[in-house]
Structure 1
Amino acid sequence: MSTINKEKIQEAVRLLLEAVGEDPNREGLLDTPKRVAKMYEEMFAGLTIDPKVYFETIFTEDHEEVVLVKDIPFYSMCEHHLVPFFGKAHVAYIPKNGRVTGLSKLARAVEAISRRPQLQERITSTVADTMMETLEPYGVMVVIEAEHMCMTMRGVKKPGASTVTTAARGVFATDSQARTEILSFIK
């Protein structure tokens, strides 16, 4: 259930348009507050989702080797500037005692966590920590590569600059060879 107050967002967008010197009653802007409210409802839908729900369904399979889903596209909103950042997430884990989850659950967790005002570092660690807590694997490794519009459109203005964050848990935190193997798979 959404906790988004669309009326408040519409009012804020009208005020913002006025504050930058625009006329919110101009033909091209008349429906902008409604469109932005609807967009924010979608962009911040993750605020009401606990990513642990995606790992409630566990299957038993005799597999204790790497499982890697790479190139998971995601979009998020920088909590410092409220502009988007986007990229790809790579999520790996080594199941323990046959506890595996559906591959789509890894992508769903990334999406739920990214659909809130965020920092890339927090998305990376939250995905890893959630998986460690719920799946109890030998290890988890999350690598996220993203471009931040707050660096592209404003400030330093460096389009194409990519930020990479990693979170290594369990065996991936203690075994550099295991980390290196995952990084080679991602490339």
Structure 2
Amino acid sequence: MRWVTFDCFGTLVDWRHGIATSAELLFPGYGGRLLDAYNRHEMAVQTETPALLYREVMAETLRRACATEGLDLGADDAGILARTLPYWPVYPEVGPELGALRSAGWRLALLTNCDRDLIGLTQRRLPVPFDAVITAEDAGGYKPSLGHFERFRSSHEPSEWVHVAQGYIHDMVPAHALGLRRIWINRLAETPADPSIPQTTQPDLHGLLTALQ
């Protein structure tokens, strides 16, 4: 069976918008700064406590981001990202592009650094169904550890497998380590530390089916 696996947040869902606008609700004018601070801390929290649920990862990361910016985060406000995550916007090309993949016979899966309940709520807003989902809860840790990929491979034994994601460190690096075919959705126009890690690079999902052929 031919499979395309996706990261969800950053690849299909605009998590930067979600985090920044949620932070703006708490601290008007600080959304962008808190987003940047959040990005600097999240991987450390995931690495320190790989068994921690993602809603708690987000809360602890937001606490550290606010401390970095000298902002007093109320105890009840630390969970705002988990509360707003199911409403974060889906990128507009996701529906047509993933629909084209399904019509061409590809099976779709999510490999997400998220909790089962949160990704379940997000899936209700994704415009196409997925055939499989592997969460951080299922894998027992967070990408870039290989647990998501290994669990997917053992469960589904794909004959052809392409991994598509926005995350360079979280997704492209482990996919490269496993020898998977990989497509980097470089929405932020980043320069990769090693240009050989992503095999194919494109700015969004437009033309994904063509890239797979």
TM-score past 0.5 threshold: no
TM-score scaled to structure 1, two decimals? 0.33
Greater strand proportion: 1
TM-score scaled to structure 2, two decimals? 0.30
* Larger relative contact order, structure 1 or 2 (CA cutoff 8 Å, min sep 6): 2
